[in-house]
Amino acid sequence: MFAAEQVDGWTPPIIDAPATVITPIKQAEAFVAATGATITHGGSRAFYRPATDSIQIPPREAFIGTATSSPADAYYSTLLHELKHYSGHETRCNRQPGRRFGDDAYAMEELIAELGAAFLCADLRITDEARADHAQYLDHWLKVMKSDNKAIFTAASKASEAVTFLAALQGA
């Protein structure tokens, strides 16, 4: 999942409806808790902050569903995406993310995070529906994949490595 600020021309919908009530998904809650990641709820965007080795995510009530996914699906798929970035820290899987939106390393890290989140969503039985703001990233991903015909395999391998790392934190 992506921060709205990173997508040119996309703005989040204005919602006058009451806050969403999300029923926790037990297996996802347990999985995330077992990673030991520092997660702070608040603000209006989700991101992993390398400087503090922490994840920031909007409050659960800020997530809305769609015709094919629930608010809980949106919340957990976003959290799992950010957890993939967390797995890239030098003390974990040691991936080197790009420095800014649009550079090749950034695009590759986003592709790894998105693939890894999709893998985990499947494992945890969470719907991970494509969103309209994915289109902005697709252009960058395609650029990377056109310049390196093995990029998708590299990204899938790194995503799988991150899933394996996070799964190992789950214990018995």
- Mean pLDDT for the chain overall: 82
pLDDT value of position 49: 94
Task: List the single range of 65-74, 93-102, 109-118, 122-131 with lowest mean pLDDT.
Answer: 93-102
Backbone angles phi, psi at 54, to 5 degrees: -140, 160
Per-residue pLDDT band for 48 (boundaries 50, 70, 90) equals: very high
Residue 12 has pLDDT above 90, yes or no: no
pLDDT value of position 6: 63
CA distance 98 to 84: 15
Q: With beta carbons less than 8 A apart as the criterion, state whether 127 and 121 touch.
A: yes
Per-residue pLDDT band for 66 (boundaries 50, 70, 90) equals: confident
> What is the average pLDDT across 65-72?
81
The continuous run of DSSP H or E covering 49 comes out as: strand 47-49
Percentage of residues of the chain with pLDDT beyond 90: 34
Q: Helix, strand, or coil here: 41?
A: strand
Sheet containing 38-41: give its strands across: 38-41, 54-57, 47-49
The continuous run of DSSP H or E covering 102 comes out as: none
